[in-house]
Amino acid sequence: MIDKLRQITALDIYPASVQRGDNGTYFLGRSSHAGGGKGTAEKFVGCADCGPGACLPNVRKVGEIDGKCVCAGPCDHQNAVALRKLLPWSAPRCLGLATSTGFGDRLGLATPGHIRAVRGTGIAPILAQQSIREMTRTARTPELVIDCATYGTIQEGFTDGFGSDADHLQKPQDIAATVEAGFTQFTIDPGAQVDNAADTMPPAALAEKLAQLDYETLATSPGDLRAAYAGKTFALAGGDAVSIGEFAFLRAAAKYGRAVTHTVAMFRCLQQTATGPFELEVSVDETDTPTTAAEHYFFASELRRLGVTWVSMAPRFIGRFEKGVDYIGDIDAFAADFARHVAVMRTLGPYKMSIHSGSDKFSIYPVIADLAGGLVHLKTAGTSYLEAIRTVADIDPGLFRQILDFAREHYDADRRTYHVSADMSKLPPAAELSDDELAGQIDDFHARQALHCTFGSVLTADGGKRFRDRLYAALAAGEEAHYANLAAHLGRHLKPFER
C-alpha cells in the first residue's frame, strides 16, 4: 500500500501515517521540494478508498489503487477539521488528573519529535500549547496551533490521545478565539491582578486593600472573609497544617484577592463560551514574589468556594525558574516548600501541581516527582525551539551564526517579559566561534536565554524577512535530525516522571 501510494502521489509517504478510518484510509506525505516558510507547506495529506462523506474536502484525484480513488491535497485548516472528525484520535481531548506534560511548539514543526519523546512513558501529552503572547510573536493563530498538532499526530500514527492548552489567557476575548479553535485546556493567568507589593506593606495598608476587593464577585463581606481565615489553623493532608494569623490573612487577601475575582470571571466566561468538555489550569507563576503555603490555601480555597473547578495549578515557587536553564536556588529549601504546596493541593484537590517555565529544571525533577507522585503537569516551550536551533547549527552553520548575533543584539529589548539573567558580555560574537563550537552554544547559559527570548524577533518583522524561510528550509532538510534532537532532549525531561 505504501509503495503504491508513493508511486501514485510522487510523495515520500510517512509509513506510520497510513491509517484506516471507519470509511477510508488516510495518509501524510512529503514532496521532494522542502521549505516554504510555513511549516507544513511541503507536506500533503491524502485519502484512499473513501466511502460516502469520508473523502477530505480539499483534495483532488491523483490516481487509483485497484480501481479505488486516491486523492491528495494541502495540509490546510479545512482538511485538518475534517480529519479530526474522521480520525477522532487526531483531535485534542481532556486529560484529567493523568501525569502530563505540555509541549510548546513555536515553529509548528515539533509534534513528531514530541511524540517520540513521550511515547511509551505513560505520560499524557499536550501537543498543542501556546499562549496568545507567543502566537502574536510568531504570527500564528489558535487554529494553526491545533492543526499542526493534528497533522503531527497523523504523521506519527499517534492514536493514544493528546490535549491542547490555550496558555496564559488574561482577557475574555482570548477565551472566545481559543474555544472556537478547539482547545480543551485553558490556562487562566491572573498574574496582573496579583499585588506583589503586599509582601512589604504594613497591616494598615493591607487592611485598606482588603476593603477595596470586589465583594459582589466574592459573594461575601470583609468581616466574613476575615472570620473564615484569620487566626485559623487548617489541617493538611499527610499530617501537616497551615496557620493563617491576622497578618498572614491580610497579606493573602490583599495579594491574591483580585486574582481570585479575575479567575472567577474568566471561568464563568469560559463556562458560557465553551461548546464541549474543557479543563482549567490556574497560573500565578509569573509574579515577582513566591506564593506561600498559606497564600496557596487562601487562593485555592476561595476559588473552590466560588464554584471554580480546575485540573492543575501553578503557584510561584521559591527560587528562580528562569527560561531555558536549570533551577537556581537551594534545592533542599525548594523541596521543603514544595512539600507544603503538595499538602495544600492534596487537601483542597486533588489537582496537579503545574510546573511552569519547567524546561531544563533537571536538578529538581526528582524532588517534584517524589513529592507529588503522579499529580504533576510539566510545562515546556522554549526548549523545543532551542533544539530546532541546535539542528540548524549542524545543517546551516552560516544561518546559525547570523541568528546568534541577531539574538545578542535584540536580547535586551526582548527579555522584558521574561525572568532571565543572561549577560551578553559573556556571549562571544559568532565570528569568534569555530563551526565545531556552534552547536555547543545551545548548552551555554547565556546563549540559551538570548536565543530563547528572541524567537519572536527571529520569526517576524525584520528578523522574519532575514531568517524565517531559511530556518524552515534548514529544518525541512534535516527533519529526522530535528526530531531526534527533540526526542532526546525532551525524553530527558520526562524520565523522572514516567509512570
Q: Is the pTM of this model over 0.75?
A: yes
Q: What is the pLDDT of residue 156?
A: 98
Separation CA 181–CA 129 (nearest Å): 12
Say whether 47 sits in a helix, a strand or coil. Answer: strand
Phi then psi for 379, rounded to 5 degrees?
A: -105, 125
β-pairing, 185-188 vs 163-169, is parallel
Separation CA 362–CA 440 (nearest Å): 18
Q: What is the pLDDT of residue 33?
A: 57
Q: Decide if pLDDT at 61 tops 60.
A: yes
Phi then psi for 378, rounded to 5 degrees?
A: -100, 120
Q: Decide if pLDDT at 376 tops 90.
A: yes
| Nearest by Cα to 69 from 155, 151, 2, 5 | 5
Q: What is the pLDDT of residue 39?
A: 42
Catalytic residue among 165, 281, 387, 414: 281
Write the pLDDT tens digit of every residue in 201-259: 999 999 999 999 999 999 999 999 999 999 999 999 999 999 999 999 999 999 999 99
CB 283 within 8 A of CB 303: no
Where is pLDDT greater, at 39 or 123?
123
CB 234 within 8 A of CB 241: yes
Q: Decide if pLDDT at 64 tops 90.
A: yes
CB 174 within 8 A of CB 139: no
Active site residue 64: no
Separation CA 23–CA 290 (nearest Å): 54
What percentage of the chain has pLDDT greater than the value 90?
95
Average confidence (pLDDT) over 182-204: 97
| Nearest by Cα to 300 from 273, 334, 340, 270 | 340
Q: What is the DSSP code (8-state) at residue 119?
A: T
DSSP per position, 439-464: GGGGGSHHHHHHHHHTHHHHHSHHHI
Write the pLDDT tens digit of every residue in 377-403: 999 999 999 999 999 999 999 999 999
Phi then psi for 454, rounded to 5 degrees?
A: -100, 10
What is the average pLDDT value for the chain, to the nearest integer? 96
Active site residue 167: yes
Q: What is the pLDDT of residue 21?
A: 94
Q: What is the pLDDT of residue 41?
A: 46
Catalytic residue among 105, 134, 156, 167: 167
Write the pLDDT tens digit of every residue in 245-299: 999 999 999 999 999 999 999 999 999 999 999 999 999 998 999 999 999 999 9
β-pairing, 352-355 vs 376-380, is parallel
Side-chain-side CA neighbours of residue 345 (13 Å): 25
Side-chain-side CA neighbours of residue 290 (13 Å): 14
Q: What is the pLDDT of residue 37?
A: 42
Q: What is the pLDDT of residue 240?
A: 94
CA distances from 48 to 9, 19, 66, 154, 487 (A): 11, 10, 11, 15, 31
DSSP per position, 326-353: --BS-HHHHHHHHHHHHHHHHHH---EE
Q: Decide if pLDDT at 469 tops 80.
A: yes
Q: Kindly give, in sequence order, each residue whose CB lies less than 8 Å from that of residue 279, ignoring residues fewer than 6 positions away.
A: 94, 95, 96, 163, 184, 185, 186, 310, 311, 312
Say whether 313 sits in a helix, a strand or coil. Answer: strand
Q: What is the pLDDT of residue 30?
A: 96
